[in-house]
Amino acid sequence: MRSIINYLKEIILGVWSLLKGMKVTGSYFFRPSTIVTQKYPSNRKDLVMFERFKGEVVMPHNEKNEHKCTGCGICELNCPNGTIEVISKTIITEDGKKKRAIDKHIYRLGMCTFCALCVKTCPSNALAFSQKFEHAVFNRAHLIKTLNKPGSQLMKGVE
């Protein structure tokens, strides 16, 4: 008797779990709004990539053309591929002290694996990922980028 009850229970539980699975796919089928596929080349104009997307490393500048990079070189040390090269220079501040600043922050996109170690380890949050993903160029030299804009300066208050 017990075995018969177990047999029936097995069938009912089995059918129930199968129906649960069908509910998931069925709900997706009847709600086309859940589709995640993008019709990429045709919706290129209004395609918005999501926040977490790692397109390329950038150095955000504010409207006064200031960045947060102090030129400490931690990103260069952390990069597993030698993608980043920080060329620093010495400047003299207004009160006459010698200080280190970046001359060029060179980023070789062609060697980058988008591991995000540079962005995570930067002590002053100077680096970030942009959502741009169309990286194809006709010349390899275009993949070597200088992240700090010409004439930019260190933001006030960032040490």
Partner 1 sequence: MLPEIVALNTSSSLSVPWWKVVYDFLPLTQWIDSSLHNAMSPFWTTVTEMLIIGVLILLFYALVGLFLVYAERKVCAFMQNRLGPNRVGPFGIFQTIADLFKLLFKELVPIKNADGFLFNLAPFIVIIASFMAIAAIPFAKGLHAIDLNIGVLYVIAVSAMGVIGVLLAGWSSNNKYSLIGAMRSGAQIVSYELSVGLAIITIVIMAGSMQLSVIVEAQRDGWFIFKGHIPAFIAFIIFLISSTAETNRGPFDLAEAESELTAGYHTEYSGIKFAFFFLAEYINMFIVASIAATVFLGGWMPFHVGPWEGFNHIMDFIPPFIWYIGKTFFVIFLMMWFKWTFPRLRIDQLLTLEWKYLLPINLVNVLIMAFIVLMGWHF
Q: What is the dihedral of CA 114, 115, 118, 124, to 10 degrees?
A: 90
Contact between 36 and partner 1 (CB under 8 A)? yes
Nearer to partner 1, 32 or 82 (CB): 32
Contact between 22 and partner 1 (CB under 8 A)? yes
List CB contacts of 21: < 8 A, sequence separation 6 or more. Answer: none
DSSP 8-51: HHHHHHHHHHHHHHHHHHHHHHH-GGG-----TGGG-TT----T
Nearer to partner 1, 8 or 116 (CB): 8
Least distance to partner 1, CB of residue 46, Å: 17
Contact between 26 and partner 1 (CB under 8 A)? yes
Residues that bind partner 1 (CB under 8 A): 11, 18, 21-22, 24-26, 28-29, 32, 34-37, 39
